[in-house]
Every structure is written in structure tokens, then in C-alpha cells.
Amino acid sequence: MSFAMTVFVLALATALMCALPGTFLVLRRQSMLVDAMSHAALPGIVLAALVLGSINSPFLILGAGAAAMLVVFGAQWLRSTGRITGDADQALIFPGLFSVGIILISTRFAKVHLHEDAVIVGDLNFAAFDLTYLRLLLGVLALNALFLLISYRPLAAATFDEGYARTRGVATSALNYALMALVALTVVAAFNAAGAVLVVALMIVPPATALLIARTVPQMLAISLVIAAASAAAGFWLAYVTDAATSATMAAVQGAIFVLAWGALRIVRLRTHCATYNSDQRGARST
């Protein structure tokens, strides 16, 4: 497989992998949890590299995953105190963790290729040099698909009415933590490709766009995957012809698709409203 094709497959796998769990995060109104996890993963990666003595170890994912889950458990604990409201619990945790990661990179890994810019936006082209990373993305993509296939019904029930799901025998707490663990794994797996910032776009924008169009959750999942695949293809092509960052062009395409979908929906609703108003006016005149 050529280098360009490897980059494209990486882009496609990353986009699809992120869109699957992102759908339920959007439905649960937990979109910014991705931002918190992605920023918190950085110190986990750096600390694991310090312990293992290598920045290329595949076991760095364990440190990153642990740091991402720390946000989940820490936010849950802060919320349980009753003194923190909204998303303030996440905002109290991840900025500190991310800043620690940046400090460690700039001091302990100043001469290593792990650069702050790559940490923020990722580097798909560099990731394409190691096929192990492609296997990791494909594995997480398969795991996400398998999880949603097996637990779709109870997960959907817990998403829309957790109390009802609990009365039906669904272990909602275990299911919620399983979803959060999967989100953490996805964020960590996408770190090399999309960094700590763009992974938020890849995971949230396709489902958010699909939510404008879809009427059911299966439709939302399907549309989200189509948008993810289309943005990966278009983003890769734009990056290739303009010599830009692939992950950045993917996120830009997804943003453009959202704006187009939102604009088209507004036009349709405006026309429908005008048609209804004109019909009512004609009916009033006839009487």
C-alpha cells in the first residue's frame, strides 16, 4: 500500500472510529467531555513515556487512557458533592492536567519529535509511517462497532430515559462507564491523528450535523458515518492538493458540511412557514 493510500485509510478509520461513540455523546449532551478527555490524555502519555523510557512504546495508550478516565471519575465525584454545576467539574480538572503535559513535553522531551503543535492538531502523515498505528485504529473502530451492535437497545434506553431503563433491568451505571471507557480509548487512539483539539471536531461535528437531519437514532448513526467518510475523503484530497494538514482539512470540511446542512434546513423551514402563512391568508380571505 502506497504512503498516500495509507494516509487516506488512516483518515477514514479515524473519522469513522470517532463518529460512532460521538453519536451518543451528542444525544447525551456530553460533547465537551471529549475535549476534557483529549486534553487530559496528554500528561498520561508523557508520564507513561517517562516510566517506560520510550516515547514509541505501544503501552503509552495505558497511561493516556488512565488519565482520560481520571476526568470521568473526578468529574463524577465533584458533581456528587452538589457544589459544582454544569460543565464546571470538567473545567476544573482537564486544564491543569493539560498544562502539566505541556510543561513535561517542553522540559523532559524538548529534543524529541513530540512537539506541542502535533499534540494540539495531530499529524496523520507522520502516523502513516507506522502501520501499527493503523492496526490500532482499525481495532478500536471494530470494538466501537461491536459495542454499539451488542448494547444499542439498552444504551439508547439509558440515553433517553435512564430511570425507565433501570426499571427494565438495565445496569445503567455499568453501561455509562463502559461507554466512557470506550470514548476514552477512542480519544487516545485518535491522539496521533487529530491531537487534543481536532479530535473534538471529528467526534462531535458529524453526529451534530446528523441530528439536524435524522428522525431516528439509527438514521443519525448512518448519516453520521456517511458525513465522517465523506469528510475524510474530501479532507484528504484537499490536504493533498494544498499541502495542508490532513486532520485539519477533515475538520474544516466537517464544519462546512454542518453549516450547509444548517443553512439548508433553515431555508426549508422558512419556505414551509411562508407557504403555511400564505395558505392561511388565502383561507382567511375566502371566508
Inter-residue contact 69 to 180 (CB < 8 Å): yes
Asked if 186 and 24 count as a contact pair (C-beta separation under 8 A), the reply is no
Low-confidence winner among 87-96, 128-137, 205-214, 247-256 (lowest mean pLDDT) = 87-96
Which one is predicted more confidently, 168 or 257? 257
For residues 272-282, give the mean pLDDT: 68
Encode pLDDT of 24-43 as tens digits: 999 988 888 888 888 788 78
Position 121 confidence tier, pLDDT thresholds 50, 70, 90: low
* Nearest alpha-carbon partner for 49 in 60, 58, 65: 60
pLDDT higher for 64 or 85?
Answer: 64
Structural domain that includes position 92: 3-286
The whole model's pTM is what?
A: 0.83
Task: List, for residues 220-249, the tens digit of each pLDDT value.
Answer: 999 999 999 999 999 999 988 888 888 889
pLDDT for the residue numbered 223 = 96
Q: How many domains does the chain have?
A: 1
Question: Taking the CA of residue 246 as centre, how many other CA atoms within 13 Å lie in the half-sphere pointing to its CB?
Answer: 26
Residue 208 has pLDDT above 90, yes or no: yes
Other Cβ atoms closer than 10 A to 32: 16
Tell me the Ramachandran region of residue 243: left when phi exceeds 0, alpha when psi lies from -120 to 50, beta otherwise: left
What is the CATH classification number for the domain harbouring 184?
Answer: 1.10.3470.10
